[in-house]
Structure 1
Amino acid sequence: MEIKATVQGDNWGILIHPDWQQNVRDRGLSLAEGFSPALFHAEHYQSEAVKVGDGGRNAAWFIPTSIGPAVLRQYRRGGLVGKFIKSTYVFRGEAQTRSFQEFAIINYLNDAGLTVPKALAAFYQQKGRFCEMALITSLIAETKPLATICQQFIDNKLSPEQAKAYTQIVAQRIRQMHDLDVYHADLNAFNILCTNEPIEAYLIDFDKAERTKLSSNLRQQNLNRLKRSLKKVCGEQSIVFMEQIAEDYALFEDK
Protein backbone atom coordinates (compact mmCIF):
# COMPACT_ATOMS: atom_id res chain seq x y z
CA MET A 1 0.00 0.00 0.00
CA GLU A 2 1.31 3.44 -0.94
CA ILE A 3 2.17 5.68 2.01
CA LYS A 4 1.44 9.24 0.98
CA ALA A 5 0.80 12.47 2.86
CA THR A 6 -2.84 13.54 3.20
CA VAL A 7 -1.94 17.22 3.59
CA GLN A 8 1.26 18.83 2.34
CA GLY A 9 2.97 22.19 2.53
CA ASP A 10 6.39 23.63 1.82
CA ASN A 11 8.76 20.83 2.84
CA TRP A 12 6.30 19.15 5.21
CA GLY A 13 3.63 16.48 5.09
CA ILE A 14 0.95 15.03 7.38
CA LEU A 15 -0.56 11.54 7.10
CA ILE A 16 -4.00 11.50 8.75
CA HIS A 17 -6.19 8.62 9.91
CA PRO A 18 -9.59 8.53 8.11
CA ASP A 19 -11.45 8.90 11.44
CA TRP A 20 -9.73 12.20 12.17
CA GLN A 21 -10.24 13.36 8.60
CA GLN A 22 -13.97 12.75 8.98
CA ASN A 23 -14.01 14.48 12.36
CA VAL A 24 -12.53 17.61 10.80
CA ARG A 25 -14.94 17.56 7.86
CA ASP A 26 -17.88 17.11 10.23
CA ARG A 27 -16.82 20.37 11.88
CA GLY A 28 -17.07 22.15 8.55
CA LEU A 29 -13.33 22.47 7.95
CA SER A 30 -11.15 21.42 5.05
CA LEU A 31 -8.19 19.19 5.85
CA ALA A 32 -5.86 22.08 5.06
CA GLU A 33 -7.71 24.20 7.63
CA GLY A 34 -7.82 21.45 10.25
CA PHE A 35 -4.21 20.28 10.10
CA SER A 36 -0.92 22.14 10.24
CA PRO A 37 2.62 21.51 11.56
CA ALA A 38 1.68 23.36 14.77
CA LEU A 39 -0.32 20.32 15.93
CA PHE A 40 2.94 18.39 16.31
CA HIS A 41 4.57 20.83 18.73
CA ALA A 42 3.72 20.78 22.43
CA GLU A 43 3.75 24.59 22.56
CA HIS A 44 0.59 24.63 20.44
CA TYR A 45 -1.38 23.09 23.32
CA GLN A 46 0.11 25.39 25.97
CA SER A 47 -0.76 24.21 29.50
CA GLU A 48 -2.93 21.38 28.15
CA ALA A 49 0.16 19.47 27.02
CA VAL A 50 1.34 17.26 29.89
CA LYS A 51 4.65 15.42 29.68
CA VAL A 52 4.53 11.65 29.71
CA GLY A 53 6.30 10.29 32.78
CA ASP A 54 7.70 6.99 31.46
CA GLY A 55 9.66 6.64 28.24
CA GLY A 56 9.46 8.97 25.25
CA ARG A 57 13.04 10.29 25.73
CA ASN A 58 11.52 13.39 27.31
CA ALA A 59 9.69 14.17 24.07
CA ALA A 60 6.17 12.80 24.58
CA TRP A 61 3.08 14.62 25.84
CA PHE A 62 -0.54 13.90 26.62
CA ILE A 63 -2.59 16.29 24.48
CA PRO A 64 -6.25 17.03 23.72
CA THR A 65 -7.52 16.69 20.14
CA SER A 66 -10.90 17.12 18.49
CA ILE A 67 -11.13 13.33 18.25
CA GLY A 68 -10.25 12.66 21.89
CA PRO A 69 -7.26 12.47 24.26
CA ALA A 70 -4.02 11.56 22.53
CA VAL A 71 -0.27 11.24 22.87
CA LEU A 72 2.15 13.39 20.88
CA ARG A 73 5.62 11.92 20.45
CA GLN A 74 8.48 13.70 18.74
CA TYR A 75 11.22 11.45 17.41
CA ARG A 76 14.48 11.69 19.35
CA ARG A 77 17.75 9.86 18.93
CA GLY A 78 19.16 7.76 21.75
CA GLY A 79 22.63 6.52 22.59
CA LEU A 80 25.86 8.30 21.79
CA VAL A 81 24.54 9.85 18.57
CA GLY A 82 21.66 11.39 20.50
CA LYS A 83 24.07 13.44 22.57
CA PHE A 84 25.10 15.34 19.46
CA ILE A 85 22.15 15.05 17.06
CA LYS A 86 18.88 14.97 18.99
CA SER A 87 16.01 15.18 16.53
CA THR A 88 17.13 15.23 12.89
CA TYR A 89 17.25 12.25 10.55
CA VAL A 90 18.33 11.77 6.94
CA PHE A 91 15.36 12.39 4.63
CA ARG A 92 14.86 9.60 2.07
CA GLY A 93 11.37 10.53 0.92
CA GLU A 94 8.14 10.84 2.88
CA ALA A 95 7.17 7.16 2.54
CA GLN A 96 10.46 6.22 4.23
CA THR A 97 10.13 8.58 7.18
CA ARG A 98 9.96 6.75 10.49
CA SER A 99 6.75 8.54 11.44
CA PHE A 100 4.93 7.44 8.28
CA GLN A 101 6.30 3.90 8.59
CA GLU A 102 5.18 3.63 12.22
CA PHE A 103 1.75 5.08 11.36
CA ALA A 104 1.28 2.34 8.74
CA ILE A 105 2.33 -0.54 11.01
CA ILE A 106 0.25 0.60 13.99
CA ASN A 107 -2.89 0.93 11.91
CA TYR A 108 -2.24 -2.39 10.16
CA LEU A 109 -2.20 -4.03 13.60
CA ASN A 110 -5.17 -2.00 14.83
CA ASP A 111 -7.22 -2.97 11.77
CA ALA A 112 -6.26 -6.62 12.38
CA GLY A 113 -7.76 -6.43 15.88
CA LEU A 114 -4.60 -6.27 17.99
CA THR A 115 -4.76 -4.12 21.12
CA VAL A 116 -2.64 -1.16 20.03
CA PRO A 117 -3.45 2.56 20.07
CA LYS A 118 -4.75 4.08 16.86
CA ALA A 119 -2.21 6.15 14.93
CA LEU A 120 -4.08 9.41 14.33
CA ALA A 121 -1.53 11.47 12.41
CA ALA A 122 2.12 11.35 11.35
CA PHE A 123 4.27 14.36 10.46
CA TYR A 124 7.60 15.22 8.91
CA GLN A 125 9.33 18.55 8.33
CA GLN A 126 12.11 18.45 5.77
CA LYS A 127 15.17 20.59 6.39
CA GLY A 128 17.51 20.21 3.44
CA ARG A 129 18.81 16.64 3.41
CA PHE A 130 17.37 16.03 6.87
CA CYS A 131 13.98 16.02 8.58
CA GLU A 132 12.23 16.10 11.94
CA MET A 133 9.23 13.89 12.68
CA ALA A 134 6.36 13.39 15.10
CA LEU A 135 3.43 11.03 15.64
CA ILE A 136 0.06 11.43 17.37
CA THR A 137 -1.66 8.30 18.69
CA SER A 138 -4.87 7.76 20.63
CA LEU A 139 -4.55 7.63 24.41
CA ILE A 140 -5.21 4.37 26.23
CA ALA A 141 -6.58 5.47 29.59
CA GLU A 142 -5.91 4.05 33.05
CA THR A 143 -2.86 1.95 32.23
CA LYS A 144 0.29 0.85 34.01
CA PRO A 145 3.49 -0.28 32.27
CA LEU A 146 4.35 -3.95 32.50
CA ALA A 147 7.32 -2.93 34.66
CA THR A 148 4.87 -1.84 37.38
CA ILE A 149 2.83 -5.05 37.10
CA CYS A 150 6.00 -7.12 37.39
CA GLN A 151 7.07 -5.18 40.50
CA GLN A 152 3.63 -5.74 42.04
CA PHE A 153 4.10 -9.46 41.39
CA ILE A 154 7.51 -9.39 43.10
CA ASP A 155 6.06 -7.48 46.07
CA ASN A 156 3.21 -10.01 46.41
CA LYS A 157 0.62 -7.33 45.63
CA LEU A 158 -1.08 -9.49 43.00
CA SER A 159 -3.12 -12.59 43.69
CA PRO A 160 -1.99 -15.74 41.85
CA GLU A 161 -5.08 -15.40 39.66
CA GLN A 162 -4.25 -11.79 38.77
CA ALA A 163 -0.61 -12.61 38.01
CA LYS A 164 -1.65 -15.48 35.76
CA ALA A 165 -4.18 -13.30 33.96
CA TYR A 166 -1.52 -10.67 33.25
CA THR A 167 1.13 -13.10 32.00
CA GLN A 168 -1.42 -14.84 29.79
CA ILE A 169 -2.74 -11.68 28.16
CA VAL A 170 0.75 -10.23 27.63
CA ALA A 171 1.90 -13.49 26.05
CA GLN A 172 -1.19 -13.66 23.88
CA ARG A 173 -0.80 -10.10 22.56
CA ILE A 174 2.88 -10.60 21.76
CA ARG A 175 2.07 -13.87 20.02
CA GLN A 176 -0.71 -12.22 18.01
CA MET A 177 1.68 -9.48 16.91
CA HIS A 178 4.21 -12.07 15.79
CA ASP A 179 1.56 -14.09 13.97
CA LEU A 180 0.67 -10.89 12.11
CA ASP A 181 4.31 -10.82 10.93
CA VAL A 182 5.42 -7.77 12.91
CA TYR A 183 8.76 -7.58 14.71
CA HIS A 184 8.81 -5.00 17.52
CA ALA A 185 12.20 -3.27 17.55
CA ASP A 186 12.00 -2.23 21.21
CA LEU A 187 9.78 -4.63 23.14
CA ASN A 188 10.58 -3.44 26.64
CA ALA A 189 8.89 -3.21 30.03
CA PHE A 190 7.47 0.26 29.30
CA ASN A 191 6.16 -0.47 25.80
CA ILE A 192 3.51 -2.86 27.10
CA LEU A 193 0.71 -1.07 28.93
CA CYS A 194 -1.74 -2.97 31.13
CA THR A 195 -5.24 -2.20 32.35
CA ASN A 196 -6.83 -3.65 35.47
CA GLU A 197 -10.57 -3.75 34.75
CA PRO A 198 -10.62 -5.69 32.55
CA ILE A 199 -7.09 -7.10 32.60
CA GLU A 200 -5.68 -6.32 29.16
CA ALA A 201 -2.33 -5.55 27.53
CA TYR A 202 -1.61 -2.94 24.85
CA LEU A 203 1.55 -2.81 22.76
CA ILE A 204 2.94 0.64 21.96
CA ASP A 205 5.91 2.39 20.29
CA PHE A 206 6.42 0.71 16.92
CA ASP A 207 9.26 2.95 15.79
CA LYS A 208 11.54 0.88 13.52
CA ALA A 209 9.17 -2.11 13.73
CA GLU A 210 9.20 -4.36 10.67
CA ARG A 211 6.63 -6.38 8.80
CA THR A 212 8.41 -9.62 8.02
CA LYS A 213 7.83 -13.35 8.29
CA LEU A 214 9.13 -14.11 11.77
CA SER A 215 11.34 -17.12 12.30
CA SER A 216 11.42 -18.82 15.68
CA ASN A 217 14.76 -17.07 16.24
CA LEU A 218 13.29 -13.60 15.68
CA ARG A 219 10.37 -14.39 17.95
CA GLN A 220 12.78 -15.47 20.68
CA GLN A 221 14.86 -12.33 20.17
CA ASN A 222 11.78 -10.24 20.94
CA LEU A 223 11.05 -12.23 24.10
CA ASN A 224 14.69 -12.01 25.17
CA ARG A 225 14.58 -8.23 24.73
CA LEU A 226 11.60 -8.07 27.09
CA LYS A 227 13.34 -10.37 29.57
CA ARG A 228 16.42 -8.12 29.69
CA SER A 229 14.27 -5.04 30.14
CA LEU A 230 12.29 -6.51 33.04
CA LYS A 231 15.49 -7.69 34.69
CA LYS A 232 17.06 -4.24 34.34
CA VAL A 233 14.04 -2.52 35.87
CA CYS A 234 12.85 -5.07 38.43
CA GLY A 235 15.94 -7.17 39.13
CA GLU A 236 16.57 -10.90 39.23
CA GLN A 237 13.18 -11.60 40.79
CA SER A 238 11.55 -10.67 37.48
CA ILE A 239 12.80 -13.93 35.95
CA VAL A 240 9.90 -15.97 37.37
CA PHE A 241 7.37 -13.50 35.95
CA MET A 242 9.05 -13.53 32.53
CA GLU A 243 9.33 -17.31 32.49
CA GLN A 244 5.57 -17.50 32.93
CA ILE A 245 5.06 -15.11 30.00
CA ALA A 246 7.34 -17.29 27.85
CA GLU A 247 5.48 -20.46 28.87
CA ASP A 248 2.11 -18.87 28.10
CA TYR A 249 3.44 -17.61 24.76
CA ALA A 250 4.31 -21.17 23.75
CA LEU A 251 0.78 -22.36 24.57
CA PHE A 252 -0.94 -20.18 21.97
CA GLU A 253 -1.28 -21.90 18.64
CA ASP A 254 -0.50 -20.21 15.34
CA LYS A 255 -3.47 -18.70 13.57
Structure 2
Amino acid sequence: MGHISVRQKDDEYFISPDPASPASHSPQLFDVDALRAQGLLDGQATGRAQAYFLRAHGKHLVLRHYRRGGLPRHLSDDRFIWTGLSRSRPWRELAVMARLRALNFFVPVPFLGRVQRQTMTYTADILTERIPGARSMADRVADDASTAIWAKIGRVVRGFHDASAHHPDLNIRNILIDESHEVWLIDWDRGHLRANALLKTRSLARLKRSLDQEPGLTEAFERGWPRLLEAYESGP
Protein backbone atom coordinates (compact mmCIF):
# COMPACT_ATOMS: atom_id res chain seq x y z
CA MET A 1 0.00 0.00 0.00
CA GLY A 2 3.01 2.30 0.08
CA HIS A 3 5.09 4.03 2.74
CA ILE A 4 3.50 6.01 5.58
CA SER A 5 5.51 8.58 7.55
CA VAL A 6 4.83 8.73 11.29
CA ARG A 7 5.45 11.33 13.99
CA GLN A 8 4.57 10.29 17.54
CA LYS A 9 4.17 12.37 20.67
CA ASP A 10 3.14 10.29 23.67
CA ASP A 11 -0.08 8.51 22.59
CA GLU A 12 -0.77 10.84 19.65
CA TYR A 13 0.32 9.86 16.14
CA PHE A 14 0.46 11.97 12.98
CA ILE A 15 0.65 9.90 9.81
CA SER A 16 1.05 10.85 6.17
CA PRO A 17 1.82 9.11 2.86
CA ASP A 18 5.32 9.61 1.52
CA PRO A 19 6.67 12.01 0.22
CA ALA A 20 4.58 14.32 2.44
CA SER A 21 6.05 14.63 5.90
CA PRO A 22 3.95 15.21 9.01
CA ALA A 23 6.92 16.55 10.97
CA SER A 24 5.86 20.19 10.92
CA HIS A 25 2.12 19.74 11.27
CA SER A 26 0.30 21.02 14.34
CA PRO A 27 -2.46 19.33 16.35
CA GLN A 28 -4.42 22.56 15.77
CA LEU A 29 -5.11 21.32 12.23
CA PHE A 30 -7.59 18.93 13.85
CA ASP A 31 -9.04 21.42 16.36
CA VAL A 32 -12.21 22.89 14.85
CA ASP A 33 -12.52 25.60 17.51
CA ALA A 34 -8.90 26.71 16.99
CA LEU A 35 -9.35 26.72 13.21
CA ARG A 36 -12.51 28.79 13.55
CA ALA A 37 -10.78 31.27 15.87
CA GLN A 38 -8.00 31.75 13.31
CA GLY A 39 -10.47 32.25 10.47
CA LEU A 40 -9.25 29.14 8.66
CA LEU A 41 -12.61 27.38 8.32
CA ASP A 42 -14.43 27.80 5.01
CA GLY A 43 -17.56 25.88 5.93
CA GLN A 44 -18.77 22.40 6.63
CA ALA A 45 -20.75 19.56 5.13
CA THR A 46 -23.26 17.58 7.13
CA GLY A 47 -24.17 13.92 6.89
CA ARG A 48 -23.35 10.66 8.61
CA ALA A 49 -19.71 11.78 8.80
CA GLN A 50 -19.52 15.55 9.28
CA ALA A 51 -16.72 17.24 7.37
CA TYR A 52 -15.12 20.68 7.72
CA PHE A 53 -13.47 22.69 4.96
CA LEU A 54 -10.33 24.61 5.86
CA ARG A 55 -7.25 26.36 4.54
CA ALA A 56 -3.78 25.42 5.78
CA HIS A 57 -0.25 25.00 4.38
CA GLY A 58 -1.38 26.71 1.18
CA LYS A 59 -4.01 24.02 0.54
CA HIS A 60 -7.76 23.69 0.70
CA LEU A 61 -8.44 20.68 2.92
CA VAL A 62 -11.30 18.56 4.21
CA LEU A 63 -11.24 17.46 7.86
CA ARG A 64 -13.28 14.43 8.90
CA HIS A 65 -13.56 12.83 12.33
CA TYR A 66 -14.03 9.06 12.27
CA ARG A 67 -17.34 7.90 13.70
CA ARG A 68 -18.87 4.49 14.11
CA GLY A 69 -21.97 3.35 12.26
CA GLY A 70 -24.59 0.68 12.84
CA LEU A 71 -25.18 -0.90 16.22
CA PRO A 72 -21.63 -0.27 17.57
CA ARG A 73 -22.29 3.47 17.61
CA HIS A 74 -24.64 2.96 20.56
CA LEU A 75 -21.67 1.74 22.61
CA SER A 76 -19.28 4.45 21.45
CA ASP A 77 -19.79 7.14 18.85
CA ASP A 78 -16.16 7.59 17.85
CA ARG A 79 -13.92 5.17 19.75
CA PHE A 80 -12.35 2.14 18.07
CA ILE A 81 -10.50 -0.90 19.39
CA TRP A 82 -6.70 -0.50 19.19
CA THR A 83 -5.11 -3.31 17.15
CA GLY A 84 -2.00 -1.44 16.04
CA LEU A 85 -1.28 1.81 14.22
CA SER A 86 -1.07 0.24 10.76
CA ARG A 87 -4.56 -1.19 11.25
CA SER A 88 -6.10 2.13 12.32
CA ARG A 89 -8.79 3.69 10.16
CA PRO A 90 -6.81 6.73 8.94
CA TRP A 91 -3.68 4.69 8.17
CA ARG A 92 -5.64 2.31 5.98
CA GLU A 93 -7.64 5.03 4.26
CA LEU A 94 -4.57 7.16 3.53
CA ALA A 95 -2.73 4.12 2.16
CA VAL A 96 -5.63 3.08 -0.10
CA MET A 97 -5.99 6.58 -1.54
CA ALA A 98 -2.24 6.87 -2.11
CA ARG A 99 -2.26 3.56 -3.98
CA LEU A 100 -5.28 4.53 -6.09
CA ARG A 101 -3.70 7.86 -7.01
CA ALA A 102 -0.55 6.00 -8.05
CA LEU A 103 -2.81 4.04 -10.39
CA ASN A 104 -4.16 7.36 -11.79
CA PHE A 105 -7.64 7.11 -10.28
CA PHE A 106 -9.56 10.23 -9.31
CA VAL A 107 -9.63 10.10 -5.52
CA PRO A 108 -8.75 12.90 -3.07
CA VAL A 109 -5.09 13.62 -2.38
CA PRO A 110 -4.36 12.09 1.06
CA PHE A 111 -2.75 14.68 3.33
CA LEU A 112 -2.59 13.79 7.02
CA GLY A 113 -4.16 11.59 9.65
CA ARG A 114 -4.19 11.73 13.43
CA VAL A 115 -4.65 8.86 15.87
CA GLN A 116 -5.13 9.47 19.59
CA ARG A 117 -4.68 6.28 21.58
CA GLN A 118 -6.09 5.66 25.03
CA THR A 119 -4.87 2.25 26.22
CA MET A 120 -6.96 -0.27 24.26
CA THR A 121 -8.99 2.21 22.18
CA TYR A 122 -8.38 5.21 19.93
CA THR A 123 -10.08 8.11 18.18
CA ALA A 124 -8.99 9.40 14.80
CA ASP A 125 -9.25 12.14 12.18
CA ILE A 126 -8.19 12.53 8.57
CA LEU A 127 -7.31 15.45 6.29
CA THR A 128 -7.54 15.21 2.52
CA GLU A 129 -7.24 17.85 -0.18
CA ARG A 130 -10.52 19.35 -1.34
CA ILE A 131 -11.54 18.85 -4.97
CA PRO A 132 -12.00 22.32 -6.53
CA GLY A 133 -15.44 23.09 -7.91
CA ALA A 134 -16.77 19.59 -7.31
CA ARG A 135 -20.46 18.83 -6.82
CA SER A 136 -22.07 15.65 -5.61
CA MET A 137 -23.73 13.26 -8.01
CA ALA A 138 -27.01 14.08 -6.26
CA ASP A 139 -26.71 17.77 -7.11
CA ARG A 140 -25.39 17.19 -10.61
CA VAL A 141 -28.05 14.78 -11.89
CA ALA A 142 -30.81 16.90 -10.33
CA ASP A 143 -29.75 19.85 -12.50
CA ASP A 144 -28.70 18.01 -15.68
CA ALA A 145 -31.29 16.30 -17.89
CA SER A 146 -28.57 14.63 -19.94
CA THR A 147 -27.75 10.98 -19.26
CA ALA A 148 -24.14 11.41 -20.38
CA ILE A 149 -22.91 11.88 -16.82
CA TRP A 150 -24.68 8.67 -15.76
CA ALA A 151 -22.78 6.78 -18.43
CA LYS A 152 -19.48 8.30 -17.32
CA ILE A 153 -20.16 7.37 -13.70
CA GLY A 154 -20.86 3.80 -14.80
CA ARG A 155 -17.56 3.62 -16.68
CA VAL A 156 -15.63 5.12 -13.78
CA VAL A 157 -17.10 2.70 -11.22
CA ARG A 158 -16.29 -0.19 -13.57
CA GLY A 159 -12.70 1.06 -13.80
CA PHE A 160 -12.35 1.01 -10.03
CA HIS A 161 -13.87 -2.46 -9.88
CA ASP A 162 -11.54 -3.75 -12.61
CA ALA A 163 -8.68 -2.64 -10.34
CA SER A 164 -10.31 -4.60 -7.46
CA ALA A 165 -10.99 -1.36 -5.58
CA HIS A 166 -13.90 -1.70 -3.17
CA HIS A 167 -15.69 1.38 -1.87
CA PRO A 168 -17.81 0.18 1.08
CA ASP A 169 -20.19 3.14 1.01
CA LEU A 170 -20.69 4.01 -2.65
CA ASN A 171 -23.53 6.52 -2.66
CA ILE A 172 -24.60 9.68 -4.45
CA ARG A 173 -22.86 11.89 -1.86
CA ASN A 174 -19.51 10.10 -2.21
CA ILE A 175 -19.41 10.51 -5.98
CA LEU A 176 -18.31 14.00 -7.04
CA ILE A 177 -18.14 15.62 -10.47
CA ASP A 178 -15.69 18.49 -10.95
CA GLU A 179 -15.76 21.44 -13.35
CA SER A 180 -13.97 19.37 -16.02
CA HIS A 181 -16.65 16.65 -15.72
CA GLU A 182 -14.23 14.22 -14.12
CA VAL A 183 -15.82 11.74 -11.72
CA TRP A 184 -14.23 11.31 -8.28
CA LEU A 185 -14.90 8.81 -5.52
CA ILE A 186 -14.36 10.18 -2.00
CA ASP A 187 -14.50 8.85 1.59
CA TRP A 188 -12.47 5.63 1.38
CA ASP A 189 -12.88 4.68 5.03
CA ARG A 190 -12.77 0.84 5.19
CA GLY A 191 -11.98 0.73 1.46
CA HIS A 192 -9.52 -1.80 0.08
CA LEU A 193 -8.11 -3.31 -3.13
CA ARG A 194 -9.45 -6.83 -2.70
CA ALA A 195 -12.88 -6.58 -4.28
CA ASN A 196 -14.46 -9.81 -5.52
CA ALA A 197 -17.56 -10.27 -7.67
CA LEU A 198 -19.91 -10.25 -4.66
CA LEU A 199 -18.48 -7.00 -3.28
CA LYS A 200 -18.77 -5.35 -6.69
CA THR A 201 -22.43 -6.34 -6.90
CA ARG A 202 -23.06 -5.06 -3.38
CA SER A 203 -21.35 -1.78 -4.22
CA LEU A 204 -23.70 -1.14 -7.15
CA ALA A 205 -26.67 -2.14 -5.01
CA ARG A 206 -25.56 0.36 -2.35
CA LEU A 207 -25.46 3.11 -4.98
CA LYS A 208 -28.94 2.21 -6.18
CA ARG A 209 -30.30 2.27 -2.61
CA SER A 210 -28.92 5.74 -2.08
CA LEU A 211 -30.76 6.88 -5.20
CA ASP A 212 -33.97 5.19 -4.08
CA GLN A 213 -33.80 7.22 -0.87
CA GLU A 214 -33.97 10.52 -2.81
CA PRO A 215 -37.60 11.07 -3.93
CA GLY A 216 -36.57 14.24 -5.72
CA LEU A 217 -34.34 12.22 -8.05
CA THR A 218 -36.94 9.66 -9.14
CA GLU A 219 -37.29 11.04 -12.66
CA ALA A 220 -33.52 11.42 -13.10
CA PHE A 221 -32.99 7.90 -11.75
CA GLU A 222 -35.48 6.31 -14.16
CA ARG A 223 -33.80 8.10 -17.03
CA GLY A 224 -30.18 7.66 -16.02
CA TRP A 225 -29.78 4.38 -14.12
CA PRO A 226 -30.15 2.18 -17.25
CA ARG A 227 -27.40 4.26 -18.92
CA LEU A 228 -25.16 3.83 -15.89
CA LEU A 229 -25.59 0.05 -15.88
CA GLU A 230 -25.11 -0.17 -19.66
CA ALA A 231 -21.87 1.80 -19.45
CA TYR A 232 -20.71 -0.27 -16.46
CA GLU A 233 -21.27 -3.52 -18.35
CA SER A 234 -19.49 -2.14 -21.43
CA GLY A 235 -16.42 -1.24 -19.37
CA PRO A 236 -14.14 1.84 -19.28
TM over 0.5: yes
CA offset at residue 205 of structure 1? 0.4
After the TM superposition, which residues 186-205 of structure 1 pair with which residues of structure 2 at under 5 Å, given as runs? Answer: 186-195=169-178, 197-205=179-187
Q: CA RMSD in A?
A: 2.0
So what's the TM-score if we normalise by structure 2?
A: 0.89
Q: Distance in 1 between matches of 2:222 and 2:206?
A: 13
Q: What code does the residue aligned with 2:27 have?
A: P
Do the aligned residues in 2 keep the contact of 1:3 with 1:100 (CA within 8 Å)? no
After the TM superposition, which residues 238-249 of structure 1 pair with which residues of structure 2 at under 5 Å, given as runs? Answer: 238-249=221-232
Do the aligned residues in 1 keep the contact of 2:2 with 2:95 (CA within 8 Å)? no
> Residue by residue, what CA displacement relative to the aligned partner does 1:196-237 show, whole Å, maximum 9, x if unpaired?
x3211110001111221422x322211111011011024543
Q: Distance in 1 between matches of 2:122 and 2:222?
A: 41
Structure-2 residue corresponding to 1:233: 214
Q: Distance in 2 between matches of 1:63 and 1:74?
A: 14
CA offset at residue 5 of structure 1? 4.6
Q: 1:222 aligns with which of 190, 203, 208?
A: 203
Do the aligned residues in 2 keep the contact of 1:145 with 1:189 (CA within 8 Å)? yes
SS in 2 for 1:52: strand
After the TM superposition, which residues 124-203 of structure 1 pair with which residues of structure 2 at under 5 Å, given as runs? Answer: 124-153=115-144, 158=145, 160=146, 163-164=147-148, 166-195=149-178, 197-203=179-185
CA offset at residue 116 of structure 1? 0.8
Q: Distance in 1 between matches of 2:30 and 2:49?
A: 16
Q: Distance in 1 between matches of 2:184 and 2:140?
A: 13
Q: What code does the residue aligned with 1:37 have?
A: P
So what's the TM-score if we normalise by structure 1?
A: 0.83
Report how many aligned residue pairs link the two structures. Answer: 232
Q: Distance in 2 between matches of 1:89 and 1:64?
A: 28
Structure-2 residue corresponding to 1:9: 9
SS in 2 for 1:122: strand
Gapped regions of structure 2 (runs ≥ 5): none
Structure-2 residue corresponding to 1:206: 188
Identity %: 25
SS in 1 for 2:114: strand
Do the aligned residues in 2 keep the contact of 1:227 with 1:239 (CA within 8 Å)? no
Q: Distance in 1 between matches of 2:193 and 2:159?
A: 13
Structure-2 residue corresponding to 1:42: 32
CA offset at residue 8 of structure 1? 1.1
Do the aligned residues in 2 keep the contact of 1:191 with 1:203 (CA within 8 Å)? yes
Q: Distance in 2 between matches of 1:87 and 1:140?
A: 26
Structure-2 residue corresponding to 1:18: 18
Q: Distance in 1 between matches of 2:203 and 2:105?
A: 17
Gapped regions of structure 1 (runs ≥ 5): 22-30
Do the aligned residues in 2 keep the contact of 1:188 with 1:225 (CA within 8 Å)? yes
Do the aligned residues in 2 keep the contact of 1:8 with 1:14 (CA within 8 Å)? yes
Q: What code does the residue aligned with 1:228 have?
A: R
Do the aligned residues in 2 keep the contact of 1:146 with 1:193 (CA within 8 Å)? yes
1:79 is aligned to 2:70: yes
User: In structure 2, do the counterparts of structure 1 residues 3 and 56 end up closer, same or farther at CA, with 3 Å as the change threshold?
Assistant: farther
User: In structure 2, do the counterparts of structure 1 residues 5 and 128 end up closer, same or farther at CA, with 3 Å as the change threshold?
Assistant: farther
Q: Distance in 2 between matches of 1:80 and 1:115?
A: 32
Q: What code does the residue aligned with 1:202 have?
A: W
CA offset at residue 4 of structure 1? 4.9
